Structure 1
Amino acid sequence: MRSVRSGTKTFVLLREVLMAYVSPAVMAGIGGLVTADKILQFRALTTIGGTSALFALLIGLWLRAKGKQKYWLVRSPQWVVIGLFALGGSMLGLLSAFVTTSIFEIAKLTDFLAWSGHIWIDFPLSATIASTIISWRWRASIKK
């Protein structure tokens, strides 16, 4: 769907969140099928796709509500905005991995969940990719 006046594509959050889930889940799922790694196939649908969708939703909601009010987001070069969101996404992904593994260790769940050791890779990487794509697509949809 394109805006009539500006010719730019409109930012539809539900579509962006859906693509943020599907894209990494499909790619990781294909990797799991090719390597016959059942844990990677499971992670593709849970920690990889889920983290991407969650971060895309949270960042998209924030950008939709407050993004145009922030002068530096609208006026800065696009690569600066995207780089800062990618850095912020990776930091939030690391923080969420730390909190999640801490909770798993306190509750003694690390022995029961085979994929819990991969959270340190899945969360930061998925959050970085989701925040980069969402900020890029949001920034491309606004007019200066």
Structure 2
Amino acid sequence: MYKMKYTNQTDDVYGIKAAGSKKKTFVLWREVVMAYAAPAIMAGIGGLVTADRSLQIGALTTIGGASALMALMIGLLLRSRVGHIRWVIGAPHLVVVGVFALAGSSFGLCAAWMTSGLLEFMIPSNHLAWVGRVWIDFPLSGFLASTIVTWRWRLAATTNFSSKRRRKK
């Protein structure tokens, strides 16, 4: 008889490490999926509890969509050269997360301003009830998504950076 070596193929595909492993990986598509799903589910539950139909619809459209888009943009930004800038790696964790959270909420506010202004110019506002929601949904989604993605990226970056530094010594 032969012995079959057990290998878990999901370790390689998804970057999942053993329970005791200290190496953390940052996978952008997982962050984007979670950035859509988490706020959409929570807002959907809130819409069900309060029987607010606009919140239920907003959970799947403006809230989840804006969060996913912001997570994608921030993740791509951090994986590019911006993530290798000295102050992003060297500054305290909370400072980096705070700067990106402010940038995310500011971008969400600009997106809400552009969306509401453009849509009211093109389509009368009485036909689109969700346009009034973007003033809350976009900045809040931008803040939450950029905070979470930056926090998780920074944990992975400092873990990988410190493990590389230890190997060089």
TM-score (norm 1): 0.94
- Where does structure 2 lack aligned partners over 5 or more consecutive residues? 1-15, 162-169
Match of 1:17 among 32, 37, 60: 32
8 A contact 2:109–2:135 mirrored in 1 = yes
8 A contact 1:85–1:131 mirrored in 2 = yes
Q: Are residue 129 (structure 1) and residue 144 (structure 2) matched?
A: yes
Residue aligning to 2:113 = 98
Give the secondary-structure state (helix, strand or coil) at the position aligned to 2:125: coil
After TM superposition, the runs of 4+ consecutive aligned structure 1 residues lying more than 6 A away are none
The Cα shift of 1:21 comes to 0.2
Q: Are residue 54 (structure 1) and residue 49 (structure 2) matched?
A: no
Q: Which has the higher contact order (CA 8 A, sep 6+)?
A: 1
TM-score (norm 2): 0.80
- 1:50-93 CA-to-partner distances (Å, cap 9, x unmatched) read 00000000110111122442111101000000000111111101
Match of 2:57 among 15, 19, 42: 42
- Where does structure 1 lack aligned partners over 5 or more consecutive residues? none
Match of 1:107 among 122, 140, 144: 122
Query: 1-side partners of 2:49 and 2:145: how far apart?
Result: 24
Give the secondary-structure state (helix, strand or coil) at the position aligned to 2:129: coil
Change (3 A) 1:64 1:109: farther
Match of 1:82 among 87, 94, 97: 97
Query: 2-side partners of 1:2 and 1:137: how far apart?
Result: 16
Question: Which of these two proteins has the greater Rg computed from alpha carbons?
Answer: 2
Q: CA RMSD in A?
A: 1.4
Give the secondary-structure state (helix, strand or coil) at the position aligned to 2:41: helix
How many residue pairs get aligned? The number is 142
Change (3 A) 1:13 1:109: farther
123-132 vs 59-68, which moves further? 59-68
Query: 1-side partners of 2:93 and 2:56: how far apart?
Result: 34
Q: Are residue 138 (structure 1) and residue 153 (structure 2) matched?
A: yes
- 1:33-57 CA-to-partner distances (Å, cap 9, x unmatched) read 0011111100000000000000000
Mapping of residues 59-78 of structure 1, within 5 Å: 59-78=74-93
Residue aligning to 1:32 = 47
